[in-house]
Amino acid sequence: MPKKNYLLTPGPSPVPPEVLSRMAEPIIHHRTPQYQEIFKEVCEGLKFVFKTSKPVYTFTSSGTGAMESAIVNFLSPGDKVITVDAGKFGERWGKMAAAFGLDAKVIKVEYGKPIEPRQIEEALKAEPKTKAVYTTLCETSTGTAMDIKAIAAVVAKTNAILVVDAISGLGADPLDTDLWGVDIVVSGSQKGLMIPPGLGFMSVSDKAWKLVESAKLPKFYFDLKQYKKSIDKNDVPWTPAISLVIGLREALRMIKAEGSMEAVWKRYANLGEATRQAFKGIGLEIFSSRPSNAVTAVKSPASVDSEKIVKIMRDEYGVSIAEGQAEMKGKIFRIATMGYISEFDIAVGLSLIERVLDRLGYKFEFGGTIKAFQESFVKGELVNK
Amino acid sequence: MPKKNYLLTPGPSPVPPEVLSRMAEPIIHHRTPQYQEIFKEVCEGLKFVFKTSKPVYTFTSSGTGAMESAIVNFLSPGDKVITVDAGKFGERWGKMAAAFGLDAKVIKVEYGKPIEPRQIEEALKAEPKTKAVYTTLCETSTGTAMDIKAIAAVVAKTNAILVVDAISGLGADPLDTDLWGVDIVVSGSQKGLMIPPGLGFMSVSDKAWKLVESAKLPKFYFDLKQYKKSIDKNDVPWTPAISLVIGLREALRMIKAEGSMEAVWKRYANLGEATRQAFKGIGLEIFSSRPSNAVTAVKSPASVDSEKIVKIMRDEYGVSIAEGQAEMKGKIFRIATMGYISEFDIAVGLSLIERVLDRLGYKFEFGGTIKAFQESFVKGELVNK
């Protein structure tokens, strides 16, 4: 039969057909009342997902563009910052800080472990002039969720702002922006927000806005002051990615229909936990000591190259999961539980992983993943009721 | 009857249904052989349209992002540049140069006029340390095409590089990048390339590459060295706007099917000329003394506010054309002849403009635009044969 494709990667994640079909409608102009009404609804929907009463700014860029915006708008060359490097995406904050001439204290954390809030507290004490702390909600490369609530409590006591890359975690791992006092949250469109890649987002606290006036790093495309001037008119300074914004309105309606972000988070928490139990059900280990609910990183059996698992699944069966990156290559594989991925999509992935592991010589009992998955999922659903 | 929508604005321009439907297919992952094959074809197609043998780089951004890339990758703070301000988009080069701390000589040109190549020659002689000249192929705000061939001949004799914003002109106004020696061409996706906004592009000559190593302006998202490392693997450093790239493949196939860019340019030259004749046919004047074939700016009759024309056409009939910007507000209106806009789409626009002008009290003979349009178009087609 023709290959049926399933996307179980931690971004891009699948896009609902209702969203895809809206994006296929004839393009409209963006300087019109018609588009402004759409963008206004999108801005409101983003506040709902970001859990903030402040505007959320939309950039035509990947998530990395939004990360750059979270640097250039708030700092000057030589400013002291702390970046948390607990994987490939935390590492990116450090690289960016270097590219923009910041004086960065990079805290290296063992892959698969979260940073201890105490480490940030100590670093801030050691360098009281630190202007910003850059970290990650879900470190996608290791499947680890940082304890943002505790970190925010630490940073809030200082003059520094807390910047969180929530590109893959947003919508799956809890992030209560205003309540926890997270100053800047950046994200992208192709994960929990269920649309194709091409949009970046950023929320900004009052404390962070205070840094904008004195920030001397040069900028134009990502210049927040330009965006601030436009947003009250439901506009952006440069031509937006119209079709993606229209798709996003549809996706945000689907998210809002669930009632609250707390309900959404609970659903992914249950899905994430069931997924972890599934792999434990056939004797595999979860890579992270503080696992994210957006993506599960699994240690491959010692005898099995995880790259082979991923390749066979994708090329022979059309089911995409992700490999390990950098030094985790060959050793872990990652399966996403974010956005439009349902428990039954995960069941597809688990069934295929069992078949591939069997073929690659790993010994276990068929059905072991699904048994543990179902038991955990149903138990979790009961608790959530 | 329900409103039929026609988009005759100089970007976004209409997207062919074949392209829209490809973009509505289920999303695929970008780090796969399947996507790399698509992106490879896109890169080849872009070379065809840009008329260059060098790679054309694709950014997830609006055209303004590609403009920023054409600054930050080639220059250092304090570098001397020349920018040509002959309208709102040329003005943007000057604003960007200021934002990045460049020492810019801004040459102001009367709106509706092109810059004289001699003016650039003199400015380069007056300041031989000039590193780059920034200008525009089609100044969208005035409907003016600059004489890029002659400007390139002037700049080629110096150490400076020539950077052309071809965001709205690409594909309609002739631009023979390699042959004329244009060092950097930037463009966007939502005009001649017939897809929604969200992608920016840049071609780079060998002469321009020589500046990359010494350029000290900070950058990360638009860092060309990162893109250069990736492009040989048919990849980009950050997550691309997958659905737009897939749509672009389809659009590029449609463009290539016409055989040559010379054939495409001739078609738009004919369409642009016929459009200008149409307005002259009812006694109106063309705003520009060197009109672009991508967009026609027309002086509104003295008694008629052009904003009213645009508003009635859009809000009552669903046909979008563009108003004048800045000091041209109320005085001109603009109609696009780029991308997927055919001669019959223009006939729709002309028929409606006649109806609206009549309603607003302008005296002329009904059918005057269409008569002149048809006569000019058919004559032009004969010449092109």
pLDDT at A174: 98
Size of chain A, expressed as the number of residues it contains: 385
Note whether B64 contacts A11, CB cutoff 8 Å: no
Q: Work out the number of other CB atoms within 10 angstroms of the CB of residue A149.
A: 15
Distance between CA atoms of residues B165 and A332, nearest Å: 45
Any chain A CB within 8 A of the CB of B238?
yes
Q: Decide if the complex's ipTM is over 0.90.
A: yes
Side-chain-side CA neighbours of residue B178 (13 Å):
11
- Judged on CB neighbours under 10 Å (0-12, 13-18, 19+), B367 is middle
Q: Work out the number of other CB atoms within 10 angstroms of the CB of residue A55.
A: 18
Of B11, B32, B65, the CB nearest to A221: B65
Contact present, B87 and B141 (Cβ < 8 Å): yes
Q: Do domains B6-12+260-384 and B17-256 have the same CATH topology?
A: no
Q: Which of A64, A88, A243, A248 to mutate to test the interface with B (most CBs of B within 10 A)?
A: A243
Which of the 8 DSSP states describes residue A26? Answer: P
Q: Which residue of A has its CA nearest to B67?
A: A221
Contact present, B309 and B353 (Cβ < 8 Å): yes
Q: Which of A69, A88, A220 to mutate to test the interface with B (most CBs of B within 10 A)?
A: A220
Any chain B CB within 8 A of the CB of A187?
no
Any chain B CB within 8 A of the CB of A28?
yes
Note whether A24 contacts B27, CB cutoff 8 Å: no
Note whether B20 contacts A24, CB cutoff 8 Å: yes
Residues in chain A closer than 8 A to B240 (CB atoms):
62, 197
Residue-by-residue DSSP string for B26-85? PP--SSSHHHHHHHHHHHHHHHHHHT-SS-EEEEES-HHHHHHHHHHTT--TT-EEEEEE
Of B7, B64, B101, the CB nearest to A29: B7
Instruction: Report how far apart, in Å, the C-alpha atoms of A259 and of each of A75, A174, A207, A254, B120 are.
Output: 37, 15, 29, 10, 61
Q: Which of B13, B23, B29 to mutate to test the interface with A (most CBs of A within 10 A)?
A: B29
Any chain A CB within 8 A of the CB of B198?
yes
Note whether B60 contacts A63, CB cutoff 8 Å: no
Query: How far, rounded to the nearest angstrom, does the alpha carbon of residue A22 sit from its chain's CA centroid?
Result: 24
Residue B241 Cα, gap to closest chain A Cα (Å)? 4
| Below-70 pLDDT ranges, chain A | none
Chain B, 323 to 362: residues with Cβ < 8 Å from chain A are none
Distance between CA atoms of residues A221 and A243, nearest Å: 20
Any chain B CB within 8 A of the CB of A25?
yes
> Please, which residues have CB within 8 angstroms of residue A378's CB and are 6 or more apart in sequence?
none
Any chain B CB within 8 A of the CB of A135?
no
Q: Which residue of A has its CA nearest to B71?
A: A220
Contact present, B237 and B69 (Cβ < 8 Å): no
Instruction: Report how far apart, in Å, the C-alpha atoms of A166 and of each of A68, A148, A178, A270, B169 are.
Output: 14, 10, 14, 20, 38
For domain B17-256, give its CATH number from 3.40.50.1100, 2.60.40.1840, 3.40.640.10, 3.20.20.80.
3.40.640.10
Any chain B CB within 8 A of the CB of A32?
yes
pLDDT at B8: 98
Q: Which residue of B has its CA nearest to A219?
A: B99
Chain position carrying tokens 């001949």: B153
Residue A122, token pair as written in the block: 């100590």
3-state secondary structure of B324: coil
pLDDT at A377: 97
Q: Which residue of A has its CA nearest to B58?
A: A61
Distance between CA atoms of residues B228 and B233, nearest Å: 10
What crossing angle do the helices spanning A261-280 and A368-384 adopt, rounded to 10°? 150
Residues in chain A closer than 8 A to B193 (CB atoms):
none
Any chain B CB within 8 A of the CB of A385?
no
Per-residue pLDDT of chain B (385 residues; tens, 9 = 90+): 788 899 999 999 999 999 999 999 999 999 999 999 999 999 999 999 999 999 999 999 999 999 999 999 999 999 999 999 999 999 999 999 999 999 999 999 999 999 999 999 999 999 999 999 999 999 999 999 999 999 999 999 999 999 999 999 999 999 999 999 999 999 999 999 999 999 999 999 999 999 999 999 999 999 999 999 999 999 999 999 999 999 999 999 999 999 999 999 999 999 999 999 999 999 999 999 999 999 999 999 999 999 999 999 999 999 999 999 999 999 999 999 999 999 999 999 999 999 999 999 999 999 999 999 999 999 998 887 7
Closest among A240, A325, A265, A238 to A137, alpha carbons compared: A265
pLDDT at B1: 78
| CATH 1.10.10.10 at B6-12+260-384, yes or no | no
pLDDT at A384: 79
Q: Which of B62, B217, B317, B341 to mutate to test the interface with A (most CBs of A within 10 A)?
A: B62
Handedness of CA B182, B185, B191, B193 (dihedral sign): positive
3-state secondary structure of A59: strand
Give the containing element (helix H, strand E) for B2: none
What is the rounded radius of gyration, in angstroms, for the C-alpha atoms of chain A?
A: 21
Residue A380 Cα, gap to closest chain B Cα (Å)? 30
Strand partners, A139: A144
Of B96, B196, B223, the CB nearest to A243: B196
Distance between CA atoms of residues A218 and A215, nearest Å: 9
Distance between CA atoms of residues A83 and A88, nearest Å: 12
Size of chain B, expressed as the number of residues it contains: 385
Handedness of CA A240, B238, A19, A297 (dihedral sign): negative
Give the containing element (helix H, strand E) for A187: strand A184-188
Residues in chain B closer than 8 A to A21 (CB atoms):
24
Domain residue ranges of chain A, discontinuous segments joined by +: 6-12+259-384, 17-256
What is the rounded radius of gyration, in angstroms, for the C-alpha atoms of chain B?
A: 21
Residue-by-residue DSSP string for A255-313? HHTTS-HHHHHHHHHHHHHHHHHHHHTTT--BS-SSB-SSEEEEEPPTTS-HHHHHHHH
Closest among B200, B155, B188, B206 to B52, alpha carbons compared: B206
Q: How many CB pairs under 8 A join A and B?
A: 184
CATH superfamily of A6-12+259-384: Aspartate Aminotransferase, domain 1 (3.90.1150.10)
Any chain A CB within 8 A of the CB of B281?
no
Residue A166, token pair as written in the block: 């929530």
Distance between CA atoms of residues A383 and A261, nearest Å: 17
Note whether B62 contacts A242, CB cutoff 8 Å: no
Any chain B CB within 8 A of the CB of A156?
no
B355: left (phi over 0), alpha (psi -120 to 50) or beta: alpha
Note whether B220 contacts A68, CB cutoff 8 Å: yes
> Please, which residues have CB within 8 angstroms of residue B213's CB and are 6 or more apart in sequence?
none
Residues in chain A closer than 8 A to B27 (CB atoms):
7, 12, 14-15, 20, 190, 196
Closest among B139, B81, B84, B134 to B107, alpha carbons compared: B84
Q: Which of A195, A239, A314 to mutate to test the interface with B (most CBs of B within 10 A)?
A: A239
Residue A298, token pair as written in the block: 């699994």
Strands B103-108 and B132-136, by their bridges, are unpaired
Instruction: Report how far apart, in Å, the C-alpha atoms of B299 and of each of B142, B230, B287, B326, B328 are.
Output: 10, 47, 6, 15, 9
What are A218-273's pLDDT values in tens digits?
999 999 999 999 999 999 999 999 999 999 999 999 999 999 999 999 999 999 99
Closest among A179, A78, A175, A89 to A131, alpha carbons compared: A78
